[in-house]
Structure 1
Amino acid sequence: MLEAVGVSAFEERVYRALLGSADCSAADLAATLREPARTVSTALARLDELGLVRRLEGRRYAPVSPEAAIGKLVNQRRAELDEVRGAADEFVDAFRLRDLRNNPDHPVEVVSGPDEVRRFSVGMQHNPEKSVLSFDKPPYATPPAGYDEVAAERPLLERGVEMRVIYERAALQLPGRLANVTELIRLGEKARTVPALPVKLYVYDHRLAIVPLSGAHVSEAIAVIHPSALLDALIALFEAYWERATAIVTVPPRAADGLDPQEARVLTMLAAGLSDQAIARQLGVSLRTARRRITTVMELVHASTRFQAGAAAAHRGWI
């Protein structure tokens, strides 16, 4: 069991025997275990080095508290694995550089098949260190059972990864999607919207991009673009769309100027460009009721258009 932290099976056996005995010598343990005294003595020296036992006067040994000693070994091994992870990044960079040198005209890797694409994509989603840029547009592959968009992105935001996402307007009209995006914005995501996007796109740390080749679902086949002029062009494309995209308004549920929580929600959807029909679906009401609430909200913020509603929210400091 302790082999994962550098303790051999025999050393663990000696340690367990010492845990079940009073302070004793190597000879005492050798007699208990029916093993050569020299072999037991070597194991005790190793356990002493690892901090699992301490040597007493008279060549006797006592166990150190397992909670503290094993916890220390686990932390040391975790630190070692973190160093390996850092070294792995250097190896990956060296491999990519080799690939680019040998194939300077082909900096694109194709990954195909649902299982391979899913494995690669999930790995990338958990590994960005600094930033993620994304074009988000329908249609989507069916998510795994129990998939939670907010829970998946929360760890990245909490560890300081900058996430900038441009949502195609149709994405925000899907049931429950705007609520998820609003929560992600609250957690730190920077989100904007445009009427239409040319392609789905994911850029990780400005070092690697993923573009689906099927034109629809990411799960079928993807192009992985490594550092190259093509990657630079995709990043420039994102920045160009970002500049002309509209920030998604997240109006506080208890906003000023007499807006109740549901009216604040309607203002959020108006500023995001949702149609009257989409707002009705999000609220779970009839189109007539939705339009009546839209009219009320626009009158409260003195706006005659959706653009003016967004501007009014910005003026009040809600964006």
Structure 2
Amino acid sequence: MLEAVGVSEFEERVYRALLSLADSSAADLADTLREPARKIGPALAHLEELGLVRRVNGRRHAPVSPEAAIGMLINQRRAELDEAHGAAAEFVDAFRLRNLRHHPAHPVEVVSGPDEVRRVSRTMQHNPATSVLSFDKPPYATPPAGYDEVAAERPLLERGVEMRVIYDGAALELPGRLANVTELIRLGEKARTLPTLPLKLYVYDRRLAIVPLSGRHVSEAIAVIHPSALLDALIALFEAYWVQATPIVAVRAHAADGLDPQEATVLAMLGAGLTDQAIARQLGVSLRTARRRITAVMDLVHASTRFQAGMAAAHRGWI
């Protein structure tokens, strides 16, 4: 009965005998159980190690309360099983990634459940060898404010992974997001933007793609797509949108040209297509103040439209 917690059948007999006897020696138990004393000693030692038995007066033994002792063993075994379950999940991820890369059996694998989705997504994100193509579109499983995307992407960019990202207009309107994107551009990311995107998409090494299956709850389920006509179509969709998208550039402020860092930020936001309201939120100012600063920047580059402001900045070498 206690084999599940590491107690052998014979050791259980010894423990049961102790429960019905006064403090006993190995010799007493050998007489009671009609077993050789040489078998009793090791059994008592293991029961003592497990916490089921305690020594009394040196050579005698007494049972520990079963409620406490067996409960402790059960909890230890549960902890070991939980640890094994966690290790199994890592092995499953490795096995899944291997099969998806080398032995795909089906065009699409559906992964469901927040924990599984996070594990698979994290595995994919950390393993691209050559390239990542992405449609970046809210909502997010982890809000950008709680996720350091610069720290996450930096190692990939530093080892030469090509990262091309098209940002949905709503993604760039999130507070502080454009600053992060600008820093990623400085690190080597190629970024563009469109007012709206049809879906969230991640393509790794042009061999695997992830598409969330729920628009509102992105961590509920994803489709993992491996080499197939469907993957080719998704890559073609990305390339078609890339051609139409507007490049996002990191504006360089040059004191000699009269462009201070805040004006550079406004110019970058104009180039990214942010609305006046979104620029106000990014700057943390009122809409009236934001419009005043927008007008000042456009006057500085002698532009009457946002497009002209971007062209003038490019001509002057600010972007």
| TM-score normalised by structure 2 residue count | 0.67
SS at match of 1:203: strand
**Matched-pair contact (CA < 8 Å) for 1:130–1:205:** yes
Partner of 2:248 in structure 1? 248
How does 1:60-71 map onto structure 2 within 5 Å? none
The alpha-carbon deviation at position 233 of structure 1 amounts to: 0.4
The residue type paired with residue 127 of structure 2 is: N
The alpha-carbon deviation at position 312 of structure 1 amounts to: 1.5
How does 1:182-261 map onto structure 2 within 5 Å? 182-254=182-254, 257-261=257-261
**Matched-pair contact (CA < 8 Å) for 1:209–1:231:** yes
Partner of 2:273 in structure 1? 273
The alpha-carbon deviation at position 90 of structure 1 amounts to: 7.5
**Matched-pair contact (CA < 8 Å) for 1:257–1:300:** no
2:126 equivalent to 1:110: no
The alpha-carbon deviation at position 216 of structure 1 amounts to: 3.0
Partner of 1:129 in structure 2? 129
Deviation string for 1:44-94 (max 9, x for gaps)?
xxxxxxxxxxxxxxxxxxxxxxxxxxxxxxxxxxxxxxxxxxxx9877544
Structure 1 199/208 Cα, relative in aligned 2: closer, same or farther at 3 Å?
same
**Matched-pair contact (CA < 8 Å) for 2:254–2:318:** no
Percent identical: 83
The alpha-carbon deviation at position 282 of structure 1 amounts to: 1.1
2:103 equivalent to 1:95: yes
Q: Distance in 2 between matches of 1:89 and 1:210?
A: 12
The residue type paired with residue 169 of structure 1 is: G
Deviation string for 1:280-306 (max 9, x for gaps)?
111111111111111010011111111
**Matched-pair contact (CA < 8 Å) for 1:249–1:318:** no
Partner of 2:166 in structure 1? 166
Partner of 1:180 in structure 2? 180
The residue type paired with residue 142 of structure 1 is: T
Q: Distance in 1 between matches of 2:102 and 2:281?
A: 51
The residue type paired with residue 115 of structure 1 is: D
The alpha-carbon deviation at position 145 of structure 1 amounts to: 9.0
SS at match of 1:288: helix
Deviation string for 1:188-225 (max 9, x for gaps)?
00000001100000000000000010023431100111
The residue type paired with residue 103 of structure 2 is: F
Q: Distance in 1 between matches of 2:255 and 2:247?
A: 18
SS at match of 2:134: strand
SS at match of 1:164: strand
SS at match of 2:103: helix
The residue type paired with residue 228 of structure 1 is: S
Partner of 1:296 in structure 2? 296
Superposition CA RMSD, Å? 2.2
The residue type paired with residue 221 of structure 1 is: A
The residue type paired with residue 239 of structure 2 is: E
Q: Distance in 1 between matches of 2:98 and 2:122?
A: 21
**Matched-pair contact (CA < 8 Å) for 1:255–1:264:** no
Structure 1 284/131 Cα, relative in aligned 2: closer, same or farther at 3 Å?
same
Q: Distance in 2 between matches of 1:187 and 1:264?
A: 18
Runs (4 or more) in structure 1 with deviation over 3 Å come to 88-94, 142-146, 253-256
Q: Distance in 2 between matches of 1:304 and 1:258?
A: 19
**Matched-pair contact (CA < 8 Å) for 1:276–1:287:** yes
The residue type paired with residue 180 of structure 1 is: N
The residue type paired with residue 242 of structure 1 is: W
Structure 1 306/255 Cα, relative in aligned 2: closer, same or farther at 3 Å?
farther
Partner of 2:76 in structure 1? none
The alpha-carbon deviation at position 142 of structure 1 amounts to: 3.2
Deviation string for 1:106-143 (max 9, x for gaps)?
40100000000000000000000000000001111234
Q: Distance in 2 between matches of 1:218 and 1:256?
A: 47
Structure 1 257/220 Cα, relative in aligned 2: closer, same or farther at 3 Å?
same
Deviation string for 1:215-241 (max 9, x for gaps)?
234311001111000000000000000
| TM-score normalised by structure 1 residue count | 0.67
Partner of 1:12 in structure 2? none
The residue type paired with residue 313 of structure 1 is: A
The residue type paired with residue 257 of structure 2 is: D
Q: Distance in 2 between matches of 1:257 and 1:301?
A: 10
